[in-house]
Amino acid sequence: MIKLITGSKNFNYMFKAGFGFYLVIIMFGISKFDKAEVHMENIIMQVDFQDFFENDTVALKINDCLIFTNAILKSHDIIGITDMSVKFEQKGEGYKCAFKDSSVTCDRFHSNVKIQITLNRVLREYNINVDNGKYIGFSKKSKNDLDLIQSVSPFHYF
């Protein structure tokens, strides 16, 4: 036989403690979400290396600032993206470039950006204006050539 006594002090204490626990969990979750949202708003540009890379050697420079070199990129067969996504965030006069577990800090960021990509030892240059979209995607078109996609909205990968 189960006996539930709702008027006892123990029940009220346990109810309040349990409610408080869930309230803390909800507030923590919301605050974590808000921090992630603010971080995304700080992004001034994002460069994703997307589809058709097959163990290709890649280097990236933005406005003559070396971001990475000799990265071996391979696109995932199902979702069509590599694991190389570079996020650019304003940091005072300069900007921080974060990718994988690394980051690089560079000098001034301008809305007219010169992107230099070396794909399998062949240099390609692209001049873009981030006012037309801060999300940039590169897919391999041929052995040494790339397609560029520019968007005002983040890319979605499934």
Ordered by start, the domain boundaries in the chain are 7-41, 43-151
Q: Are 80 and 53 in contact (CB under 8 A)?
A: no
**pLDDT at res. 20:** 44
**pLDDT at res. 108:** 83
List, for residues 92-132, the tens digit of each pLDDT value: 878 999 999 999 999 888 889 999 999 999 999 999 999 99
| Closest among 138, 99, 130, 134 to 113, alpha carbons compared | 130
**Beta-bridge partners for 65:** 62
**pLDDT at res. 43:** 92
List, for residues 6-47, the tens digit of each pLDDT value: 555 554 544 454 544 443 333 434 333 332 232 567 899 999
Q: Are 117 and 82 in contact (CB under 8 A)?
A: no
pTM for this model (two decimals): 0.73
| Closest among 150, 142, 112 to 124, alpha carbons compared | 142
If one compares 155 and 138, the residue with the highest pLDDT of the two is 138
Distance between CA atoms of residues 67 and 70, nearest Å: 11
Q: Are 134 and 47 in contact (CB under 8 A)?
A: no
**Beta-bridge partners for 124:** 117
